[in-house]
Amino acid sequence: MIVVTGAGGSVGVHLVKRLSAIGRPVMALVRSRRDVARLRGLAVPVCCADTTDGGLLAEAFSGVEQVVHLAGTFRESGRETFDMAHKDGTRRLVAAARRAGTRHFLYVSTLGAAPDRIYPFVRSKWLGEGEVRGGGVPFTILRPSLLFGESDRLLTPLTRLLKVSPYAFIPARERLRCQPLWIGDLVTCLMRALDVGVGKGAVIPLAGPEQVTYEGVVDLVQRRLGTSRPKVRLPVSLAASLTLVLERVLHSPPLTSGILDVWRLGAITDRHSVRKAYGFTPMPLSEGLRYVLPSDEPPGRRKGRRERAATPDPAPER
């Protein structure tokens, strides 16, 4: 049995679907009824539990051989801080896995995770990694860059903002860069790590083949939408302050402090990191935009693009 935490998120839903499609026994661990609704139609058991509930975790992990820990947050809200979500929550999950005799704990961290107090999100992910390393369970740690895909935290809120705002806001005075990775390609890496233990006991950076700036992403999205909003450049410090305000008043803000932390740190690594670790070349953002963002293409072509985006694991390159 495989337990997937954060199974109601964009990566989790995709992973559970892939595992279920090939007949792998999987349990989806979620936090809320809204997350349960996202898994509707999948013939998999769903456990609604919080990482603070040790009893439920012990029950959920009984007989579990592998854990994929995806649960986390890109924004702090009330009492839920980054450290609580990524450090304390991970510690409880690893302890439950250890007691259950789990043979592999796969933790999805973030590219650039480091003990840097300037960026609370990436620091909390580093602390979560520490809990995994010292937890007494064989592990793999994957460090993906920012992800793009259906219901993502990168393109979806940015697209929504560019559709309604008269301006395109750009955090300026720093060249914010990253290498976006398609959600489907991260899921392929997870599947291979689960199947054959590729990278077991390692910390593996994962990123797409294209390095882009924040402004570059805005330009790509605007071209895809056929819009051209005037750009307003904000000091990064002001953008960070506005982001904190918007997090408090909007259910789905256009940018979160966690995402901005990754941008500011610079989620950059080897362009061939995925191929070196898992044997295939991931989809670049410039191509992925055609699948992720709606357009005025004929229905037949849109259907073909959806099928491409849903294609299962690519064959390893030789």
Domain ranges of the chain: 2-148+181-209+268-283
pLDDT at 52: 62
Confidence check: pLDDT of 140 > 70: yes
Q: Read off the pLDDT band of 202 (50, 70, 90).
A: confident
Distance (Å, rounded) from C-alpha 3 to C-alpha 16?
9
Looking up tokens 């008043």 gives 249
Entry pTM: 0.87
Mean pLDDT score, 156-184: 86
Q: What count of other Cβ atoms lies within 10 Å of the Cβ of residue 194?
A: 21
Q: Packing angle between helix 120-133 and helix 89-100, nearest 10 degrees?
A: 20
Distance (Å, rounded) from C-alpha 49 to C-alpha 61?
11
- 19-49 tens-digit pLDDT: 988 888 888 888 777 777 777 777 888 777 7
Is residue 61 within 8 Å of 52, Cβ to Cβ? no
- Sign of the C-alpha dihedral computed for residues 158, 159, 160 and 163 taken in this order: positive
Is residue 171 helix, strand or coil?
strand
Query: Of the spans 170-184, 284-298, 302-316, which averages the highest pLDDT?
Result: 170-184
Shortest CA distance to 276 belongs to which of 173, 206, 185?
Answer: 206
Shortest CA distance to 204 belongs to which of 185, 182, 188, 189?
Answer: 189
Is residue 184 helix, strand or coil?
helix
pLDDT at 173: 61
Shortest CA distance to 93 belongs to which of 31, 10, 35, 16?
Answer: 31
Q: Read off the pLDDT band of 195 (50, 70, 90).
A: confident
286's CB contacts (< 8 A; 6+ apart) are: 210, 220
Distance (Å, rounded) from C-alpha 289 to C-alpha 230?
21
Looking up tokens 């456990």 gives 47
Is residue 68 within 8 Å of 9, Cβ to Cβ? no
Distance (Å, rounded) from C-alpha 9 to C-alpha 17?
12
Distance (Å, rounded) from C-alpha 229 to C-alpha 166?
6
Which residue stretches of 101-199 are H helix? 120-133, 155-164, 183-196
Is residue 183 helix, strand or coil?
helix
CATH architecture of the domain with range 2-148+181-209+268-283? 3-Layer(aba) Sandwich (3.40)
Q: Read off the pLDDT band of 297 (50, 70, 90).
A: very low
